[in-house]
A and B are shown apart, each in its own frame.
Chain A
Amino acid sequence: MKKIISVFIIVAFTTTCVALAEKQKYIEGEMFPVPQSTHNGSGYTAIEVGLDGNIYVGTAFYGSSAHLVRFNPRTSKWEDIIDAHKITRETGTGLDSQSKFHAKILVDDDGVIWAATKQGNENFIDRPEFGESSTGYPGGHLFSFNPRTNTVIDHGILRKQEGIMGGAIDRKRKKLYYWSDPKQHFLIYDIQSRQLKDLGTTGGSPRYMAIDAYGRVFGTGRSGIIWMYDPETDMLYDLLVKLEGPGQYKDPYAMVSSKDGKKIFACAIGGEYVMEFDLSTISFSEKSPDTDGSIVCRHVCLSYPEGVSKPGDQHAGVLGKDGCFYFPNVIDKSPYLMKYDPEKKKTECLGEIKIKGNSDLKPLYAQGMCTTKDGTIYMMFISAGSGKQMPFSIVRFNKISVEKK
């Protein structure tokens, strides 16, 4: 009996040590604070690398004017590209200001950067003037910036009194895709004709949109539904999610298209699993009473580090150059950088995120991510932290997702 107890204690001790070792593994990134004059502490999904190798970041300036800024990794210098109120000549304050570049920043083949604004401090339930007062929020603007000519163009308000969110680009068809907040209308902007098409409400508010090899666009719709826009039919479809694997389905938050464009990788806030949406399973024969078809979602593996007992906050995600899905998972106020390898169908915790040379800073929430050509990943962290307050910054992880030869 004593032997059994001893073995049990040893096993338990070893397991705890392994778990702690896993938990205490760190990954360090270099921090580059966003210029203070361009924000009041946060930014969202608006981060992307341009063809010029610079990192374009959209800021949030609640109650005032959001900015599009550019970070040059070679000189580590920032430039202010767009001051939303200056360009639009709007003077709205509080809820009526162009206070966020929230939508994903999109980069066209010609290097032109596309960015869009929305309102801040949303209060859609009680706010009476929504859609009804000319003095309310005018609506989010779409901007383009050409780095070669240093020219900014304001393409106007896409939908009256609504903000612009989401964001995907079809470079072949020269189309930009967004949705309007709060009415969730799917918006298609034709870059060449500068025409806007509104396909009506999607029923969901996805922060991320994914676009596949056929130019089909996906996002979260009503609960348990993924919507799909097919450019061939110019139609929006609602697909009922059929779950394969353990656990319960949670509507995904961050989603990215796989390297071959045949799958979508996703994670959900508080979700336990990395999700794989298999685009080859889209079927229009199997549907519920109020959907057009169905799609299979597989819970492929746990989304949080081993040894941690609960899932955390997963607000962002990006595809690495190695084809893996990278996302932060904040558990007990500690952000872990997770990597999902679709070939191995496994997640790996790359470590708790720490700031190089600033070990007392504790980053917390990453809202947006992007990957450069050499596999470097940038994450955008808001000003927060359980220890010493971290400034709103981008954090660089050098060449962590290098393309496999």
Chain B
Amino acid sequence: MKTKILLFLILWKFSSAVLCESFTLKIINLPFPPYQRNVTKLFNIGKNVYGIIPECSYHHGRIITFDDNGVRQVNNLPSDVLVVESVIFNPELTWTWDKSYKKIVVLDPQGVLSIYDNNGHRKEIQTIAGTRPFEKSSYQVSRTFAMGRDNCIYTAGKDGYIFKLNPETMEVKKLNVRLPSVKGREAWASLDAATVTDDGTIYFGTFDGYIASFNPESNVMKNLGKPFRQQRIQALVYFNNIIFGIGGEPDGLPRWFIYDTIAGTFEIGGTLKNTENKLIYEPVNSMIYLENNKIYGSFSGRLGSLFVIQYER
């Protein structure tokens, strides 16, 4: 009995320590010209961070790069990176480069998966997304791809099934594993955000607001639950054994959370405020982690700015 009490006290102490180890966030806006606002995608090539800003036509746009010294517009990405303007500046498309940056994988609003080769030629692969009940022409399309450590690209299709694409062979496999959803919501199970850990585990954020871990080697999906009592996971980034996420419906308020990949616990952070203590109303388009405990992100909307989140534990 004494041992049990002692064990209970140790566990209680340990769990309290985990719970109390909270984060503080400092969100710093990076002022930059209005025509460079609303960065829809952030990515890094090597140590350089780039952002994509579509213009109205969706066939044109601007590319920016930024660091601690500020934001600059650049004319081009490095020459060995494939650029298809009608793809990268079109916010309606879900897209990513392959590992070599010489191919672009695209999922269009009709749920068709295609690939652009290094000459910019498009090859349609197959339709992977499905429609929702009673909305026969409206496809539930995943908004992100995850690049696995195996260099394969993962996303979700009809009824939340995971698809694995090998960009080298252009082979697509529908895996016998699905995103979490409650019964009857399978048609809405699509990917909003994803991030990959050092050990190759992929963390998914779903349209319905679930977080799930996926092991590409064993094809095991684990439902970690919903950090918020609402839909949508806007962005996820992994660093230092934690998943930092921002979620919430686009017309609601963005809220942050942290999933500790070792302890397996969520920490719910609440709404986001900028350095002027003003509530941030607009959803996050994109986030990226590079190094030095800094997360770079972009808020959406007319005044949507780039931001840096500095966190302290």
Q: Which residues of A contact B (CB under 8 A)?
A: 124-125, 130-132, 160-161, 182-184, 199-203, 222, 236-238, 287, 289-292
B32 in contact (CB, < 8 A): yes
The smallest C-beta distance from A251 to any residue of chain B, in angstroms, reads 14
Task: Report 25 cross-chain contacts, Cβ distance below 8 Å, ordered by A residue.
Answer: A125-B279, A130-B252, A130-B253, A131-B251, A131-B252, A131-B253, A132-B230, A132-B248, A132-B249, A182-B279, A184-B281, A200-B302, A200-B303, A201-B281, A202-B302, A222-B303, A236-B302, A238-B34, A289-B32, A290-B32, A290-B33, A290-B34, A290-B305, A291-B34, A292-B34
Q: Is the CB of A124 within 8 A of B279?
A: yes
B186 in contact (CB, < 8 A): no
Q: A132-B230, A132-B248 provided; 16 other pairs, C-beta below 8 A?
A: A132-B249, A132-B253, A161-B251, A182-B279, A182-B281, A200-B302, A201-B281, A201-B282, A203-B303, A237-B34, A238-B34, A289-B32, A289-B33, A290-B34, A290-B305, A291-B34
Instruction: Give the docked Cα–Cα distance between A161 and B252 (Å).
Output: 9
Residues of B within 8 A of A290 (CB): 31-34, 305
Residues of A within 8 A of B279 (CB): 124-125, 182
Smallest CB-CB separation from B299: which chain A residue? A201
B301 in contact (CB, < 8 A): yes
Q: Is the CB of A199 within 8 A of B31?
A: no
Instruction: Give the docked Cα–Cα distance between A291 and B32 (Å).
Output: 8
Q: Is the CB of B31 within 8 A of A132?
A: no
Q: Is the CB of B301 within 8 A of A200?
A: yes
Instruction: Give the docked Cα–Cα distance between A125 and B167 (Å).
Output: 46
Among all A-B residue pairs, the 10 with the closest Cβ atoms: A200-B302, A132-B252, A131-B252, A290-B31, A183-B281, A131-B251, A289-B31, A203-B303, A200-B301, A201-B303
B window 269-313: CB within 8 A of A: 279, 281-282, 301-303, 305
Interface 1/0s, chain B 24-38, versus A by CB < 8 A? 000000011110000
Q: Is the CB of B252 within 8 A of A199?
A: no
Interface 1/0s, chain B 9-44, versus A by CB < 8 A? 000000000000000000000011110000000000
Residues of A within 8 A of B248 (CB): 132
Residues of B within 8 A of A222 (CB): 303
User: Quick one: which of A124, A132, A182 has the most chain B CB within 10 A?
Assistant: A132
Residues of A within 8 A of B251 (CB): 131, 160-161
Residues of A within 8 A of B301 (CB): 200-201
B window 222-263: CB within 8 A of A: 230, 248-249, 251-253
The smallest C-beta distance from B40 to any residue of chain A, in angstroms, reads 14
Tell me which of B32, B249, B302, B305 contacts A131 (CB under 8 A): B249
Smallest CB-CB separation from B276: which chain A residue? A223
| Chain B binding surface, main DSSP class | loop
Residues of A within 8 A of B34 (CB): 237-238, 290-292
Smallest CB-CB separation from B31: which chain A residue? A290
Smallest CB-CB separation from B279: which chain A residue? A125
The smallest C-beta distance from A214 to any residue of chain B, in angstroms, reads 21
Smallest CB-CB separation from B230: which chain A residue? A132
The smallest C-beta distance from B284 to any residue of chain A, in angstroms, reads 15
Residues of B within 8 A of A292 (CB): 34
Smallest CB-CB separation from B277: which chain A residue? A125
The smallest C-beta distance from A127 to any residue of chain B, in angstroms, reads 9
Residues of B within 8 A of A131 (CB): 249, 251-253
Instruction: Give the docked Cα–Cα distance between A125 and B31 (Å).
Output: 24
Instruction: Give the docked Cα–Cα distance between A290 and B31 (Å).
Output: 6
Smallest CB-CB separation from A129: which chain B residue? B252
Smallest CB-CB separation from A126: which chain B residue? B271
Residues of A within 8 A of B31 (CB): 289-290
Smallest CB-CB separation from A160: which chain B residue? B251
The smallest C-beta distance from A226 to any residue of chain B, in angstroms, reads 14
Smallest CB-CB separation from B29: which chain A residue? A290
Residues of A within 8 A of B249 (CB): 131-132
Instruction: Give the docked Cα–Cα distance between A201 and B280 (Å).
Output: 11
Tell me which of A132, A160, A199, A289 contacts B302 (CB under 8 A): A199
The smallest C-beta distance from A314 to any residue of chain B, in angstroms, reads 24
Instruction: Give the docked Cα–Cα distance between A287 and B31 (Å).
Output: 13
The smallest C-beta distance from A199 to any residue of chain B, in angstroms, reads 7
The smallest C-beta distance from A66 to any residue of chain B, in angstroms, reads 24
Residues of A within 8 A of B230 (CB): 132
The smallest C-beta distance from B53 to any residue of chain A, in angstroms, reads 14
Residues of B within 8 A of A236 (CB): 302
Smallest CB-CB separation from A132: which chain B residue? B252
The smallest C-beta distance from B198 to any residue of chain A, in angstroms, reads 34
The smallest C-beta distance from A166 to any residue of chain B, in angstroms, reads 16
Smallest CB-CB separation from B248: which chain A residue? A132
Instruction: Give the docked Cα–Cα distance between A292 and B302 (Å).
Output: 12
Residues of A within 8 A of B33 (CB): 287, 289-290
The smallest C-beta distance from B257 to any residue of chain A, in angstroms, reads 15
Residues of B within 8 A of A202 (CB): 302
Residues of B within 8 A of A203 (CB): 303
The smallest C-beta distance from B302 to any residue of chain A, in angstroms, reads 3
The smallest C-beta distance from A16 to any residue of chain B, in angstroms, reads 43
Tell me which of B32, B252, B302 contacts A201 (CB under 8 A): B302
Instruction: Give the docked Cα–Cα distance between A222 and B276 (Å).
Output: 12
Residues of B within 8 A of A287 (CB): 33
Smallest CB-CB separation from A223: which chain B residue? B276
Instruction: Give the docked Cα–Cα distance between A161 and B253 (Å).
Output: 12
Instruction: Give the docked Cα–Cα distance between A161 and B251 (Å).
Output: 9
Instruction: Give the docked Cα–Cα distance between A202 and B302 (Å).
Output: 8
Instruction: Give the docked Cα–Cα distance between A132 and B305 (Å).
Output: 23
Smallest CB-CB separation from A287: which chain B residue? B33
Residues of A within 8 A of B305 (CB): 290
Instruction: Give the docked Cα–Cα distance between A96 and B247 (Å).
Output: 24
The smallest C-beta distance from B94 to any residue of chain A, in angstroms, reads 23
Instruction: Give the docked Cα–Cα distance between A287 and B305 (Å).
Output: 17
Instruction: Give the docked Cα–Cα distance between A183 and B251 (Å).
Output: 9
Residues of B within 8 A of A237 (CB): 34
The smallest C-beta distance from B47 to any residue of chain A, in angstroms, reads 24
Instruction: Give the docked Cα–Cα distance between A330 and B299 (Å).
Output: 40
